[in-house]
Amino acid sequence: MDWRYLANIENSGFIPSLPLFHDLVVASKLPVEKYFYSETDKQGSKAHEEVKRKIDDCPKKYLSFVEAVVDEAIRQEEAESE
């Protein structure tokens, strides 16, 4: 991107396209969720990220148990929504 174009965004109130805005957020190392997801999505995303982190730390011998618990939770949710 040309520096003059970026200067127009910063100083003149020029609104960039959505893809360019996304690229600027990523390049600036800002949290993408803050700008591109609703509050509900952010909360869900944070919870999913925390669970993913915990699963990554989980000893492999317990992963089948964790998977079974998640499968059962999904089954119960589906049964309740029917």
Look up the pTM and report it: 0.43
Question: How far apart are the C-alpha atoms of 39 and 47, rounded to whole Å?
Answer: 13
Q: Name the phi and psi angles at 33, rounded to 5.
A: -55, -35
| Claim to verify: residue 41 and residue 26 sit in the same structural domain | no
Do 53 and 61 form a contact (C-beta atoms < 8 A)?
no
pLDDT level of residue 9 (50, 70, 90 thresholds): confident
Token pair, residue 29, equals 């190392």
Q: What average pLDDT does range 46-53 have in this prediction?
A: 83
pLDDT level of residue 38 (50, 70, 90 thresholds): low
Q: What average pLDDT does range 46-71 have in this prediction?
A: 86
Q: Which of 42, 31, 62 is nearest to 54 (CA)?
A: 62
Q: Domain range holding 17? A: 1-35
Provide the domain count of the chain: 2
**pLDDT above 70: residue 22:** yes
| Claim to verify: residue 22 and residue 55 sit in the same structural domain | no
